[in-house]
Every structure is written in C-alpha cells, then in structure tokens.
Amino acid sequence: MRETVLKWGSQSTTWLYLLLAYPVIDFVMRKILPIPVVSSFWDEALLIILLVFTFGAFLQTNRTMPGIKHLLSAFFVLGLALTVTDMTNWQASVEGFRSVYQYLIAFLMGFYLLKSVEDLDKLLKGLVLIGFVAGAYGVLQVVVGVKTPEAWVQEGEAITTRAFSFVTSPNVLGSYMALIVPVAAGLFMKAPKAIEKWLWAAITLTSLLALLLTGSRGAWFALAFAIFVCCYIWKKRIAGYLVLAGIIGVVALFFVPESVPMVGTVKNRIFTLFTSDYFYASSQGGRVERWGKAYDQMRVEPLFGAGLGHHGGAVAARRFGTTYTDSYFFKSLAEYGLIGTIMLVGLILSMLRYSARAVSKMHGSPHFFPVLGVLGGLVAVAAHNFAENIFEVPFMALYFWLFGGFLCALFADQTQSKRW
C-alpha cells in the first residue's frame, strides 16, 4: 500500500488529476468538510507541488517553447513592475498580482508536464467527467426547484430559476459548461465503440442542458462562436451551413411563444437584450455603467492603469469597495491600462493561434476531434470574459491556461519532430 501511494505521488499526472477535480475538492473542503488552514491553502499547496514537477520537467525535456514565451515573459515583468511601483497600497497590489499570475503559471505546467497526446486524451476524460458532475448537479437544482439568489434573476424576465451547481454562480457554471461541451462532443466523435459513444453523448447533452439552464447569455453566445470556430477549422463548408442554420434559428425563435417550455425562456432571455428597458437598467448600475467606469478609470492612467487589484475584481471589492466590472477585459483595461491589456489580449490570441495550428496539423488523426474540442472550449471561455470576470474564478483560470499549455506543447512537439 505504501509503495503504491509513493508511486502515485511521484507521478505528475496524479497531481494533474487532482487539479482537474479542483471545483469538487474546493466545494467539499469549504462547505462540507472544512478543515482549518487546509481548506484555505490546499490549492496553493497543490500548485507548489505541480510547480516542482514542472521545474523538473523543464530541466529534463528538450521541448522548446514557441514565440509566445517572449510575450509571456514581458507580461510577467509588467505585472511585477506594476506591483512594486504602488507601495502605498502594496497589499492590494500583491493580492492583485497573485490573482492573475498564480493561475497563469498553469500554462507552464501544461506545456512542460504533458508527455504525449495519449496522456492528454486521458486528462480530457477526467476533465469532462468532473464537469459532468457539476452540470448534473446544476440540472438537479432546477428539477427540484432550488431557490436561485435574487441577484441572479433579473426583474421583468421570464426566467426565475437558474442552475448554479457548486461553482459560485450561474455565469460561472455557464462558462464551465461551455468549456466541457465541445470536449465531450470531441470524445463522442472519437469513440470507436457504440457504448462509449452513448456515454459521451449523454454527458454532452447533460452539459448542454446545464448550460441552457444557467440562463447565461454570455456563455450561450461564447459557445456558439466556439462551435463556429471548430467547424471552420474542421470543414469550412460546414461552418457556412452553421451560420445559415443560426440565422434561420434566430428568426424562428422570434416567433416561438414564450409559453413554450425551455425554448420560450431562452427566447425571452435573448431578446430582452435588445429592449430599451434592458439598456436603461444596464446603464443604471448594470454592465454598461460598469464598463463605462472601467473606461473612465483607464483614461486617468491610460498607459499603465490604476494598478493590479485596484478596480473591478474581487481584490478591489475587498480593498477599495469597487463593484465587479462584469468583463475581465474591461477590468484589465482599468488596472493594466492600454499597454497591459494589449499584452494580455495578445497573449491569449497567441496561445489560441498556436493551439489552432497544432489542431490543424492533426487532421485525420484519431485525436483530432478531442483536441479540436479543447480549442473550442478555450475559445468559449476567452470570449465569455468579454461579458464576465471568468478569469477571477480560480479553477476556470487554471483550466484555461493549463489546457492552453497542453495544446502549445503539442505544437512544439510537431514542429520539433519536423526538424529532426
């Protein structure tokens, strides 16, 4: 028994699986079996262990990081510079730095700890199964009528119950499911046996249902965009048909009575966006007003912003009493200024670009659809950050950078194998 435990503990994959189970472990540690100190710092301890494995892998591997390393290094340097230049509010600055870069190091973990595409396939199955648990829990909440906190239900809308599972809020669950659905669908496409296809199909549909039940419009639109990107990489002709089907679907949805179960609720949730009442409410304490405040804050310090942890996020809310910006990119605009925001967006786009190139080179491979699903999930999460502070949620930020690192590792391996 002792030898088995030591064997598992000496493998980085064991700790990666624990990281994939982050939302479940965190929920249990904080809500069900709270242990003093351990409940608050278990995730930091896990990241330190993985960082040790990452350093060891870095010393042993011949895998070379592509050009993204320059932007990544510059972004780290900028973060450190912004932290040390505001010593008046050093606690907020340090917390703000930690809230970004503690999770960004997951990219390095993904890049150096991935051993093969076969290992990635196993990790994807772990990711999807954990996501299925969260999605099924959210669906069950709606079925049994768990009361949704009033802050998540907008006055005047038909929807009164939203799935939120054990992951903070409906919008976070929506983003989580937008990450899981494409990956599960990819595993369905790859599965060679009928029973496996049924399993992954059931998981995909359950996760999609959970996404719909969150009522998160941002997550819906983000997933729709991600599906288009995936289809475009797979077959451009299918992407064209998808756009046509989407247009027809929106037109048809307009004529669906709101009394129709589920579909009517989705219609109400979407078309409410285009009403004058919604825009007025959003301008008076909603997203539009918060985005405007973030923009105004950027105008005060256009190049380098107000400083990390100073506006629009959890740290700023605790330290300065500011409200959430409801857009990670607008939050970054206020805190980083133009230079830092451009670097952040550039870093994300660069990672997605290398990931897309890695996926494109796998056309015809049995692993093509799962990795395409990962790319789709990453695109969905990145897009959702335009309307939510998704990167403020630890496990979502970790997933994003970790799997981005995995795909960039595949690209590096493909490039180096050609050289040899």
Structure tokens belonging to residue 112: 């150096």
Domain ranges of the chain: 2-419
Which residues make Cβ contacts (< 8 Å) with residue 103, sequence separation at least 6?
Answer: 391, 394, 397, 398, 401
Task: Give the number of other Cβ atoms within 10 Å of residue 103's Cβ.
Answer: 23
The pLDDT assigned to 420 comes to 40
**Residue 1's pLDDT is what?**
62
What are the structure tokens assigned to 174, written together? 């929506």
pLDDT score for 265? 83
Best CA proximity match to 325, nearest among 388, 283, 282: 388
pLDDT at 302: 95
Q: What is the pTM of this model?
A: 0.95
- Which portions of the chain are predicted below pLDDT 70? 1-2, 4-5, 151, 153-160, 417-420
**Residue 129 contacts by C-beta under 8 Å, 6 or more apart in sequence?**
203
In the prediction, which pLDDT does 155 show?
A: 52
Burial, 378: exposed, middle or buried (Cβ in 10 Å; 0-12, 13-18, 19+)?
buried
Contacts of residue 107, defined as CB under 8 A and 6 or more positions apart, other chains included, come to: 72, 351, 401, 402, 404, 405, 408
Residue 304 near residue 336 (C-beta atoms within 8 A): yes
Q: Which pLDDT value is given to residue 352?
A: 98
The per-residue pLDDT for 30 is: 85
pLDDT attached to residue 281: 84
